[in-house]
Amino acid sequence: MFLQKNGHYLFIGICLIITTRLTAQLDSVGLPEDLAFQIESYIENIGEEVDFDFNTLYETLNTFLQKPLNLNRADEYELENLGLLSDLQINSLLNYIADKGDLLAIYELQAVPNFDLPTIYRILPFVAVNRSLDDLNETFAAILAKSKKNLYLRWSRNIEVPQGFRARDDETPPAYQGDINRYYLRFAQAYENRISFGITLEKDPGEDFFRNSNKQGFDFMSAHFMYKKVNKTIERIVLGDFRAKFGQGLILNTGFAPGKSAFVTAIRRSGAPLNRFTSVNEQNYLRGAGASLKFNKRLIWTNFVSLRKRDGNVIQSDTSDVDLEVQNLNSLQLSGLHRTEKEIEAENTLQQLSIGTSLKYKIAKGNVAANVLYTQFDQAIGKTDRPYNNYFFKGEQLLNASVDYSYFYKNFIIFGETAWSNNHQFASVNGITATLSSKIAFSVHSRFMPRDFHSLFGQTFSEIIGATNENGLYLGLAFNPTREWRFAFYADTWKHPWLRFRADAPSRGKEYFARVTYYKQRDMEAYVHFRYESKQQSYRLDYTNFDELLFRNRSNFRFQLNKQVTKRLSLRSRVEWSIFDIETATNPDGQIFYDGAFRPQSEVKSHGFMAYQDIIYKPVNIPLSLTTRFAIFDVDNYDARIYAYENDVTYQFSVPAYYNKGTRFYANLKYRAKRHLTLEARYAQTFWNNQEAFSAGNNRIDGRTRSEVKVQARWRF
């Protein structure tokens, strides 16, 4: 239906003609393509259009861009933190250096097993090879003197004013207590990847600023200090706000946890157990102190303690005494927003104490660790009294323990974690990744997480967010027959043994993915991929008084081409289609309640189309760079939505959902005003042809356009 429109054909033709005449693997101001796809998949799995605020991904790569990681001195955690190498590649590199000595040149990586040219080109901007020794005796004062300092100031707002900022009448004030502006301030000081400290302040649109509920100014205030390799014993210290991860994330993972993606063999959770927190995610962090101690080459002991306030939804409890009003907490409030009276009432209503310890022992070809996590609230919490919440955690205290392991055997990695919660339930995830030859790699991952396993901070490799109520099996295969061609496939199937939101019975699902990539050295990358997902949801049928579980099916087909003229100019083109439908009900002649009304089954099917053209330009002779996109889309409804990663100002990027019919445009400008001062500006606008309002409720914007402007200044000194 949408491909018959001449405008779409014309736009696709222009994109491909322009792009094929030019030659980039990396855009000059964004993440590598594979990481961008991981973020798209993560946001799509959440199912919400949100700004991606795990900016530590970008920050880590930017640190290595300024000071490349020395591969001859990098340890396992640093290589994992790079985020661009598989577990097998990391293990192969460490074994190669241990066996043959330091690398003499970066292109010696071609001799390392499991390394190919696309991988080498991908990591080139962020790594280096030198044979200097790390100086652990360098004084703290000397490190501070060498450290780089950055100050970031950012302002942004929507041009159009949402309903929540407007008074309904003379007697009803706006629902949002504060103004429409978003303010962000951050100071950061770091020396390579060894020491880091700073503060982050943010005020969201609608929140008070230096008045009423926020007399201190910013609604969110964060500070951190991290010191790595203090000496031969103290491996790492973190103070203030930090992230923590044990094992495969069954009981603890407060950082970004990517799921299924084109990295089909990247299924193992890895990385340092403690790390700095520099994001503006107001819930997913710990606050206190932690340290990792290295007693010898084999034994590492990690401990932390965190004490922080949390937002909780306050509800009124029924009592036998009508004059007695009882309040208690119903659940944790995770939005981090404090704009309305209800949101302000939920702010800092309970206190959370978390204590964790992990003892890791390295063996010749792997490691094993024992982990314990204790969490206590100063009052009982729970979920709303709904059947699908029957088995969620309720109470004041939770104790978790787990054992995780990793074992390397030749080209195989076997790993897993088995965890326990103090209601005497067990959960377990286990996997294998292997390279059968220089051309073939595969992965297998199984997960068993019962409906009544409790884990407040769990984020493991799974379909849903959280480590409970899911059993599944994942299979991945990567095939690289030549240097130019890469094939990636995965299949995932899962079951939810208990009810879920919008699923009134135990449900199941499956997902398939295939990608074919053509890679020509550093000159061009093109790929096509297909993704199909089918999972059950409850629908009301017109011939019964009960809901019935039906499969919601979504398919996406994408073609993308990346090319570059010079080091200064690159283009990226994408075309994507989506299809959404619902399986036939028990009675094929019946109707399904869908989108607010009972509809014939034949009408419950929707399509989507989206195409965009990116231009990334960084001229040689002037200190100015430009990133811009123009996109067109024709998507029947939100169910057929299409997600696309967008570049933003430094340390920010977003993944909006394209739906309805219209266009989207954004432009980012970066100007180096002086040696130490960088100014950035962004303007983005979405235009809808067929609808007169965006969103609903307090976020409703009347009209066909939704626009945002953003300005950022960075001072480096």
* 405-415 residue pLDDT tens: 999 888 899 99
pLDDT band, residue 595 (cuts 50/70/90): confident
Nearest Cα to 573, choosing from 558, 560, 586, 554?
560
Three-state secondary-structure class, residue 278: coil
Residue 387 DSSP label? G
Q: Look at residue 19 in the predicted model and tell me its pLDDT.
A: 41
Strand partners, 662: 633, 688
The angle formed by the CA atoms of residues 83, 643 and 5, to the nearest 5 degrees, is 140
Q: For 479-493, what is the mean pLDDT?
A: 93
Please determine, for residue 191, whether its predicted confidence score (pLDDT) is greater than 90.
no
Structure tokens at 99: 């066996």
> Which of the given ranges, 152-161, 167-176, 256-265, has the highest pLDDT on average?
152-161
More confident residue, 40 or 628: 628
Identify the H or E element spanning 644.
none
d(CA 451, CA 644) in angstroms, rounded, equals 33
Q: Look at residue 405 in the predicted model and tell me its pLDDT.
A: 96
CB 530 within 8 A of CB 557: yes
Q: Is the pTM of this model over 0.85?
A: yes
Q: Look at residue 598 in the predicted model and tell me its pLDDT.
A: 84
Residues written for the chain: 717
CB 276 within 8 A of CB 239: no
pLDDT tens profile 420-434: 999 999 999 999 999
Bridge pairing between strands 220-228 and 182-191: unpaired
Three-state secondary-structure class, residue 476: strand
CB 630 within 8 A of CB 643: no
More confident residue, 118 or 272: 272
Q: Look at residue 88 in the predicted model and tell me its pLDDT.
A: 80
Burial (CB count <10 Å: 0-12, 13-18, 19+), residue 141: exposed
Q: For 577-589, what is the mean pLDDT?
A: 84
More confident residue, 36 or 23: 36
Q: Look at residue 318 in the predicted model and tell me its pLDDT.
A: 45
DSSP string, 654-700: E-PEE-EEEEEEEEEEEEE-SSSEEEEEEEEEEEESS-SEES-GGG-
More confident residue, 124 or 431: 431
Q: For 254-259, what is the mean pLDDT?
A: 79
Q: For 198-217, what is the mean pLDDT?
A: 92
pLDDT band, residue 126 (cuts 50/70/90): confident
The angle formed by the CA atoms of residues 641, 645 and 647, to the nearest 5 degrees, is 145
Q: For 618-637, what is the mean pLDDT?
A: 92
CB 207 within 8 A of CB 217: no
More confident residue, 322 or 517: 517
Q: Look at residue 22 in the predicted model and tell me its pLDDT.
A: 36
What does pLDDT average to over the chain? 85
Cα-Cα-Cα-Cα dihedral sign, residues 127, 133, 134, 140 = negative
Please determine, for residue 107, whether its predicted confidence score (pLDDT) is greater than 50.
yes
Nearest Cα to 256, choosing from 267, 264, 245?
245
What Rg value do the Cα atoms of the chain yield, rounded? 26
More confident residue, 537 or 603: 537
Largest CA distance in the chain: 80
Please determine, for residue 1, whether its predicted confidence score (pLDDT) is greater than 50.
no
Please determine, for residue 67, whether its predicted confidence score (pLDDT) is greater than 80.
no
DSSP string, 224-260: EEEEE--SSSEEEEEEEEEEEB-TTSSSBB-S----S
Q: For 335-350, what is the mean pLDDT?
A: 90
Q: Look at residue 543 in the predicted model and tell me its pLDDT.
A: 73
Please determine, for residue 674, whether its predicted confidence score (pLDDT) is greater than 50.
yes
Please determine, for residue 12, whether its predicted confidence score (pLDDT) is greater than 50.
no
Tokens 């205290």 locate to: 397
Nearest Cα to 640, choosing from 662, 621, 619, 657?
657
Q: Look at residue 534 in the predicted model and tell me its pLDDT.
A: 96
CB 456 within 8 A of CB 466: no
CA dihedral 449, 451, 455, 459 (to 10 degrees): 50
Q: Look at residue 325 in the predicted model and tell me its pLDDT.
A: 38
d(CA 609, CA 687) in angstroms, rounded, equals 15
Considering only 10-14, 238-242, 607-611, which range has the smallest mean pLDDT?
10-14
Three-state secondary-structure class, residue 44: helix
Phi, psi of 236 (to 5 degrees): -165, 140
> Which residue ranges form the domains of the chain, and what is each CATH number?
55-134 (1.10.150)
More confident residue, 533 or 12: 533
Name the percent of the chain lying above pLDDT 90: 50
Please determine, for residue 6, whether its predicted confidence score (pLDDT) is greater than 60.
no
DSSP string, 184-231: EEEEEEEETTTEEEEEEEEE-TTS-SSBTTBTTS-SEEEEEEEEE--S
Identify the H or E element spanning 65.
helix 56-66
Residue 665 CB neighbours (<10 A): 15
Residue 688 CB neighbours (<10 A): 19
Q: Look at residue 32 in the predicted model and tell me its pLDDT.
A: 62
Sequence-distant (≥ 6) Cβ neighbours of residue 319 within 8 angstroms: 325, 326
More confident residue, 593 or 62: 593
Structure tokens at 127: 């790594």
Residue 616 CB neighbours (<10 A): 24
Please determine, for residue 24, whether its predicted confidence score (pLDDT) is greater than 70.
no
